[in-house]
Amino acid sequence: MPSASIAPRREPPCPSVIRTTTLPSGEAVQVLGQGTWKMGEDARHRPDEVNALKLGLDLGITLIDTAEMYASGGAEEVVAEAIAGRRDEVFLVSKVLPSNASRSGVPLACEKSLKRMRTDRIDLYLLHWRGGVPLAETVEALEALRKAGKIRHWGVSNFDTDDMEELARLPAGGNVQTNQVLYNLSRRGPEFDLMPWGRQRGIPLMAYSPVEQGALARSAKLQAIASRHNVTPAQVALAWVMRGDGVIAIPKASSQEHVRQNVTALDIELTSEDIAELDRAFPPPTRKRGLEMI
């Protein structure tokens, strides 16, 4: 008698429509990406990290965010392994350190990132934060990379409103495509003026640490809403970040189960009552706060 076959595990279906937002260039990008901060730091975890990114791609989440700073290039090497043979599926984001943000330093840093990720271009290249190099010099270097085809777009990270205004006054400053900042339920400062500034100009905000490095996953304040939707507090926190137009969330997921939960968060529809409850638990800012970084 032939043995019964065992059906392979089937992945949960990808959301019918993965929502997108639009860059100033007109290109649509997904509102949920895959972050890689702290990946590549321990070789023992590398297979799980690579497989998590691969599963995200399989489920249709094609924006991957990394940086030369993460594990001193180790995260970019993890990305390279995950996207091997699938580069054209991916919208690849990386970042240059402010110490490399000079006219000569930017192209050298970019070439090293390209080599580590085994690709010929970066889709979106960000200045990780402001340093001592004049902003105009960095922008000139980024523009040169764009014109050379090494990067397709450029943007910034950890820029407050006054930084963005200074950038906008530069000759090529209008080519900025996004600003990646710390934004989540417990870090709502950008809502006061930074997010409205970007929204008026069609510049999406890219939110890193949307679950506050896991802290919101343990928040009792989210449990009632999570129970109503039959999801986890982390999924509620992530859905909240992605609720509005012009925000891209880039949570890190080092396990396949975590990836599945992030993808499922796309389908959570928070009600007006949910939003009001979250506003009471995590009040929006009533005054200007300095931009936070972690």
- Are 37 and 70 within 8 A, CB to CB? yes
Tell me the domain boundaries of the chain: 27-210
For the domain 27-210, what is the CATH code? Answer: 3.20.20.100
User: Is the pLDDT confidence value at 8 over 70?
Assistant: no
pTM of the model: 0.93
Catalytic residue of the set 70, 125, 183, 208: 70
- Give percent above pLDDT 90 in the chain: 91
For the segment 87-135, what is each residue's pLDDT rounded down to a tens digit? 999 999 999 999 999 999 999 999 999 999 999 999 999 999 999 999 9
pLDDT per position as a tens digit, 25-66: 999 999 999 999 999 999 999 999 999 999 999 999 999 999
The H or E element containing residue 62 is none
Among residues 198, 199, 186, 194, the alpha carbon closest in space to that of 241 is found at: 186
In the chain, which residue ranges form alpha helices assigned H by DSSP? 46-58, 74-83, 105-117, 135-148, 161-168, 194-200, 223-229, 233-241, 256-264, 272-281
> How far apart are the C-alpha atoms of 218 and 210, rounded to whole Å?
13
pLDDT for the residue numbered 17: 65
Query: Is residue 70 among the annotated active site residues?
Result: yes
Q: What is the pLDDT of residues 265-287, one digit of tens each?
A: 999 999 999 999 999 999 999 99
